[in-house]
Structure 1
């Protein structure tokens, strides 16, 4: 054969077309098929993200035997918050020690070469001749000596007489080995015999303006007895420095004498007569050093009153001011 396709090969396309038409005709004769019914699966939509369709539940492949979970370790308890330390208590100011007891007396040392006792001291003339002995001192209301009473010697004690001489007629030499009192009488100072007798009669009599001091009783303002004057210590300037008091029986039965400063004496009038006063208590007398010949002279005076204690308010205010200044 010449030209064209062989016959069997030409038939194949026609058969294919016919088969296709037959198949399409069968499909046209059938009605519309319903869609298969499936269960609705909820879809989870996350906000602000692409919607994801939940697929079928995943099945977890069985694994090997699960190991038991170890128990969780116990948690450490939380540390408590640190406690705030309380401020230290204020330091209490220690109470001041109790004040020392107030002294009862004040003492003054008197040199024996600067003062000498008056009683029974020899009285001489300027030429050195001894004419008698001093027996008393007369003072006025202010405590100023105005007279001395001298026992003028007679012959072997016969004719002795007490005569008052003005205080200005005497000179005192406490450090002298012989007579310590010298009588310097001016021509008009010699007492007349009748005046001497009158003076002797009144020698031991106290009036409102004069007081013979020897043997006078010193009292306190309340009338209690302090002691009896047994001597007066006079310095080189004719000034009394102290009185010697016999205080026996005041605080003990033993005989005891003390020296008290002349400045501690006061004088008052009672029943028209002068009498001496001193503010020495029994405790002050007991605390006073004794007076003895050959020993240092320590004259005493009542101690001045202690100042009143400061008010508690002012002391606390001062303490707070001191703390604030720190």
Structure 2
């Protein structure tokens, strides 16, 4: 074409423009990029580490190894045990009280008392004038008179006479007449003898309920003119055999019934059976009923024991008295 660019020139111009744009785009793509902005306060700066000291070289092992020491045995570990309190000790029940004694026996030596019945009565000069045959007591149990059978000639003219009790002297150990009558003694008047008194020989001794215990066959007198015991015939009381026992004079009681004195003693059949028999050649074992047991009382509070507490009192029975169960 005229007046303008030819077709090949246009092509070259387009190529040049294209190339120019291409080059500008590559510079945008491949040019230097800006580094990101980092805040210094956010990232901590680590301090420089201290230099590590070099470790000491290990010593060289000795050629000759030392022998190993024997190991000591380990002591066993003992764990402390918990101490349990001891169980409460049960207090045993107190033993039952001993049964009360059935009777009480008192031993009287033959040299201390003498039988009254049929004992010879003499005067102070030693002449025998008769024999004692009975004892008379009053309501208080005190002896008042002795009945003496005065001897006659060849048994003829014998008579019984009452003499006051204080007119006699007793010698239980005498080999001859154990009873001596004062020379000045006079018989008791009949009016005085008529008072309420009791002749003991052949008198029945009863219980409080009226049951018969035995019959008095003798009275035992000591050197002080005091009755010590009565001898009772208890035949038929506890057995069919003939049997005699001695009963303490202090165990007798005298009561008045129908204007008459009656001797009483509370001896049961079991107590009579437990009493040893009376024998002329053996010591006298005089019986008394055992006292009734004391009523049970509430136990007193036990005071705490102290070193100065008093020792318990001890009661010792007499050598001539013992209890029979």
Q: Cα distance 1:21–1:230, how it changes in 2: closer, same or farther (>3 A)?
A: farther
> Is the Cα–Cα contact under 8 Å of residues 208 and 273 in structure 1 kept in the other structure?
no
User: TM-score w.r.t. structure 2 length?
Assistant: 0.65
1:240 to 207, 216, 227: 227
Q: Which residue of 2 aligns with 1:96?
A: 94
* C-alpha distance in 2 between matches for 1:20 and 1:250: 175
Looking at structure 2, the residues matched to 208 and 154 of structure 1 have their Cα atoms a distance apart, in angstroms, of: 28
Question: For 1:22-41, what aligned pairs fall within 5 Å after superposition?
Answer: 22-25=21-24
Shift of 1:185: 3.6
- Name the counterpart of 1:145: 143
Q: Distance in 1 between matches of 2:172 and 2:141?
A: 21
For the 8 Å contact 1:174–1:235, the answer to whether it is kept is: yes
Q: For 2:144 and 2:241, locate their aligned partners in 1 and report how far apart those are by CA, in whole Å.
A: 34
Q: How many equivalent residue pairs?
A: 237
Taking a change above 3 Å as real, the CA distance of residues 98 and 208 of structure 1, as seen in their structure-2 partners, is farther
Shift of 1:209: 2.0
Aligned partners of 1:19 and 1:122: how far apart in 2?
197
Unaligned runs of 5+ in 2: 1-16, 28-81, 306-325
Q: Which of 272, 294, 312 is 2:281 aligned to?
A: 294
The answer on 1:269 being equivalent to 2:268 is no
In the alignment, which residue of structure 2 is the partner of 1:106?
104
Q: Are the structure 2 counterparts of residues 299 and 208 from structure 1 closer, same or farther at C-alpha, using a change threshold of 3 Å?
A: same
Show the counterpart of 1:228: 215
Query: Once superposed, what is the RMSD of the aligned Cα atoms?
Result: 3.2
Report the equivalent of 1:190.
Answer: 186
Q: Once the two structures are superposed, what CA deviation does each residue of 1:184-222 show, in whole Å capped at 9, x if it has no partner?
A: 141xx4349xx6xx69xx98xxx7720001111111111
**Counterparts of 1:236 and 1:85, CA distance in 2:** 75
Q: Distance in 2 between matches of 1:19 and 1:209?
A: 189
TM-score, reference length from structure 1: 0.65
Q: Secondary structure at the match of 2:129?
A: strand
Q: Write the distance in 2 (CA, Å) between the matches of 1:20 and 1:295.
A: 178
Question: Displacement, 1:116?
Answer: 0.1
The answer for the alignment partner of 1:283 in structure 2 is: 270
Q: Report the counterpart of residue 63 of structure 1 in structure 2.
A: none
Which residue in the other structure is 1:65 paired with? none
Higher helix share: 1
- Structure number with higher relative contact order (C-alpha < 8 Å, ≥ 6 residues apart): 2
Q: 1:270 and 1:135 mapped to 2: Cα distance?
A: 25
Equivalent residues of 1:126, 1:184 under 8 A apart: yes
> Is the 8 Å Cα contact of residues 124 and 183 (structure 2) preserved in structure 1?
no
